[in-house]
């Protein structure tokens, strides 16, 4: 396999360079002296940014896009085997590397490589760690799956051994990584278009944990069912955290919330009260997220005052209970939640935020997930006062014709909740303007393009 070595630069070509992840790594490698070219289906703000950095980008997929002097072609798992550029690279004998393998190669250049995993919360905890490690003057390199104000984007290029990034379990991509520190936030059923069942998912996380070296660090949620089964079989340092079990190494007690649902708590470390922690993000789930971030930072010896200062400065990542603005007295929030557990956490947090009625516009993400969690989606959405359902966002899937948002609506009606199915975004916007009142909260929710509904309302 080709090895990416920061001490030996090369000419790299990225197929699909406009993706938020691929673009970040292209920018990182450019900063390390690599010559980068790329292609994408169309231009965007991301590709325009890369072009301003000096990266040549060609639009459309064709064999001639690959420069003659290319040393390596990088592509995402979404690129088909018959992609003209991938076919051409193989015809010419140019080494190729899928994105997950590239990430693993990059991580080997950092002696403190922190990988944040879990079914939920990866982006938030990576964002928290970003604020903490920047506050502590550690000059980290960071890759996060959302736009973060402190980074002015989704990537930060540092000049230290510290690397912080998300580690997604989908298609087992995180098994290609090379972490020295891991966080495992939670393990639940998801991505059932790839995994067989929860045991298959747990096995992948166990394999991920076993990637750690003997002197590595695993921070794991002690509330995970039989978490010890996931831990490595070798002798790395294992640290637990919990919001319910005081026997864990890091524990939150005496939890309270301000008028906007932001939490504060007494931090206990190994059974002893340490300090009061104040957050500027909503919900009890973010108290758990902060415990994971604190556990890594404290275990790695960061100054406690700077850690807590960094946490206080974190006010949320893009699309994570993000206040977009107000229109006609209606507070518009956007959230990326697309799994029942995430929906429950977001709507529970919203209860502590000022509101009359909570309206939730939910866009289900993929047919597979909708079918797998049909009842659970309805039960989670029932925490809202009123629910509007859009069509399912297909993402990588084709419509099988046997599942739709109407099925969720029927489940909601069985629970006695007020719900509506409206297929057109324009019709949803008009419905909201007619039916929401001053003081209501509107949450656009989902991993697709539902965010545009709130943004359009704010432009009226």
What residues contact residue 426 under an 8 Å CB cut-off, 6+ apart? none
Phi/psi at 272 (nearest 5 deg)? -115, 135
Distances (CA, A) of 402 to 89, 370, 381: 40, 11, 21
For the question of residue 166 being annotated catalytic, the response is: yes
Tokens of 413: 């009606």
| Helix, strand or coil, per DSSP, at residue 8 | strand
Query: Side by side, which strands form the sheet with 11-15?
Result: 56-59, 35-40, 11-15, 72-75, 96-98
Query: Could you write out the DSSP letters of every residue in 389-450?
Result: E---B-TT----SS--HHHHHHHHHHTT-EEEE---HHHHHHHHHHH--TT-EEEEESSSST
Q: Which residue has the tokens 């390199």?
A: 141
Tokens of 344: 């429950």
| Helix, strand or coil, per DSSP, at residue 2 | coil
What residues contact residue 312 under an 8 Å CB cut-off, 6+ apart? 278, 279, 280
Active-site hit among 119, 122, 282, 429: 122
For the question of residue 51 being annotated catalytic, the response is: no
Active-site hit among 123, 240, 368, 390: 123
CA 232/CA 272 separation, integer angstroms: 27
For the question of residue 331 being annotated catalytic, the response is: no
Distances (CA, A) of 434 to 328, 438, 450: 11, 11, 19
Active-site hit among 27, 85, 166, 189: 166
Nearest partner of 361 among 442, 293, 437, 417, judged by Cα: 442
Q: Point out the residues that are catalytic.
A: 122-123, 166
């Amino acid at each position: 396999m080709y090895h990416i070595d920061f001490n030996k630069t090369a000419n790299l070509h990225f197929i699909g360079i406009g993706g938020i992840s691929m673009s970040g790594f292209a920018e990182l490698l450019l900063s390390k002296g690599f010559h980068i070219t790329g292609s994408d289906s169309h231009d965007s703000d991301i590709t325009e940014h890369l072009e301003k950095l000096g990266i040549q980008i060609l639009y459309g997929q064709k064999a001639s896009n690959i420069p003659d002097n290319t040393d390596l072609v990088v592509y995402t798992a979404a690129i088909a085997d018959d992609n003209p550029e991938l076919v051409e690279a193989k015809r010419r004998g140019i080494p190729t590397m899928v994105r997950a393998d590239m990430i693993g190669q990059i991580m080997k250049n950092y002696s403190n490589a922190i990988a944040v995993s879990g079914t939920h919360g990866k982006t938030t905890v990576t964002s928290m760690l970003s604020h903490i490690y920047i506050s502590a003057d550690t000059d980290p390199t960071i890759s996060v799956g959302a736009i973060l104000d402190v980074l002015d984007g989704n990537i930060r290029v540092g000049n230290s051994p510290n690397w912080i990034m998300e580690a997604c379990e989908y298609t087992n991509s995180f098994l290609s990584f090379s972490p020295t520190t891991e966080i495992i936030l939670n393990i639940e059923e998801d991505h059932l278009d790839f995994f067989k069942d929860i045991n298959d998912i747990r096995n992948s996380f166990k394999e991920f944990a076993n990637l750690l070296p003997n002197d590595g660090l695993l921070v794991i949620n002690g509330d995970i069912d039989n978490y010890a089964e996931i831990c490595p079989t070798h002798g790395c340092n294992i640290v637990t955290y919990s919001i319910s079990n005081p026997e864990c190494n890091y524990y939150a007690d005496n939890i309270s919330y301000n008028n906007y649902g932001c939490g504060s708590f007494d931090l206990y470390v190994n059974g002893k009260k340490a300090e009061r922690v104040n957050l500027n993000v909503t919900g009890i789930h973010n108290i758990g997220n902060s415990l994971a971030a604190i556990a890594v930072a404290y275990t790695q010896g960061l100054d406690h005052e700077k850690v807590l200062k960094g946490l206080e400065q974190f006010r949320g990542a893009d699309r994570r209970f993000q206040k977009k603005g107000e229109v006609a007295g209606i507070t518009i929030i956007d959230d990326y939640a697309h799994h029942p557990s995430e929906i429950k956490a977001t709507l529970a947090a919203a209860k502590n935020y000022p509101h009359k009625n909570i309206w939730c516009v939910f866009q289900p993400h993929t047919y597979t997930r909708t079918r797998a969690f049909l009842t659970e989606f309805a039960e989670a959405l029932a925490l809202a006062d009123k629910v509007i359902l859009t069509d399912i966002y297909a993402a990588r899937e084709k419509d099988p014709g046997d599942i739709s948002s109407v099925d969720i609506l029927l489940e909601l009606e069985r629970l006695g909740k007020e719900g509506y199915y409206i297929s057109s975004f324009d019709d949803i916007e008009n419905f909201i303007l007619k039916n929401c009142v001053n003081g209501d909260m509107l949450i656009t929710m989902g991993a697709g393009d539902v965010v545009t509904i709130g943004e359009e309302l704010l432009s009226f």
